[in-house]
Amino acid sequence: METLTLTRPDDWHLHLRDGTALQAVLPHTARQFARAIVMPNLKPPVTTVADAAAYRDRIVAALPAGSDFTPLMTLYLTDATSPDEVRRAKDSGFVHAVKLYPAGATTNSAAGVTDLRHCWPTLETMQAIGLPLLIHGEVTDPAVDLFDRERVFIDEQLIPLRAAFPALRVVFEHITTREAADYVTDCDGAGTTRAPTIAATITAHHLLYSRNALFAGGLRPHWYCLPVLKRETHRLALVEAATSGRSCFFLGTDSAPHARRLKESACCGAGAFTAFHAIELYAEAFERAGRLDRLEAFASFFGADFYGLERNRATITIERAAWTIPHELPFGDDRLVPLDAGGVLQWKLAA
């Protein structure tokens, strides 16, 4: 196979930042993807429909001329988010989900939820109106080992949450462990008549790399993200889930740009920038698994179906052509290092 044409994909988990950073990274996503779920963890966070509308306007204004990319907005859940606000979100037509960051879990999460019980009335409303909850699934207890935080979150937070709100539609974001893949597989309702209420996004970097990549030849900050890369056994479980053809797993890059000077610093920011070469990275992962024929459904169909949106009609084509990932890219007044800079990929998005 020398070329592969896919229904134009969507990115169901994306960080675009704001200002000059937004202007720098948005074109990379817009040339590959038709739509993207845009994360709300700005400073200050996007907590209201009015905030989301203003952010959406800034994204649209930053698009390259002629682009038909559509940002799908989200709200940042806080202890104080009201049921009325999520009703307004649902009614807006452009806010498609609410994002749960446990306070302190990742970049710009200080305003996140301190205790899910504070959000019970709002979650009950979201369940009733069908507005999905997107979950960064890690506990923040410092006594819990960093590599166990996702597994512990499932037991301590996710299982009780879904028992309390069984009809709440949940996306378990950027899963990184066998336990998460197994949990979503066991709960997705495949083969039953009930509508699915849980799904998961999987990043390209968690499909391609284990935690060894963080330490190959030294400490490599551009591979540092949250949740962190895990053991090889977990990577293999994610590959099996992503390439299984199960509709509960779909593409979400979690592309998270940080200026080079902030990654290569005493306190490295968490995030891998993959928007520049996202579809090529996923093609690499699926081909290595011998399941390139299943990439289209994972990238282009399953996410749209879960969110109740029409599948895209346009297409993109990738072609077999070895190329080298740039060592850095412009990022406003700074520079940005894409994941695996200097590495070679075997597929390239056709012009």
**Which amino acids are annotated catalytic?**
254
Q: Distance between CA atoms of 148 and 138, rounded to whole angstroms?
A: 8
Give the DSSP letter of residue 41. -
Contact 255, 319 (CB under 8 A): no
* Residues sharing a CB contact under 8 Å with residue 288, sequence separation 6 or more, in sequence order: 239
Question: Which SS3 state, helix, strand or coil, does residue 199 take?
Answer: strand
Q: Distance between CA atoms of 288 and 347, rounded to whole angstroms?
A: 12
- Helix orientation angle between 120-129 and 83-92, rounded to the nearest 10 degrees: 30
Cα Rg, the chain, nearest whole Å: 19
Q: Which residue bears the tokens 């989900």?
A: 97
Contact 129, 90 (CB under 8 A): yes
Q: Distance between CA atoms of 58 and 306, rounded to whole angstroms?
A: 27
Give the HSE-up count for residue 271: Cα atoms under 13 Å, Cβ half-sphere.
Answer: 25
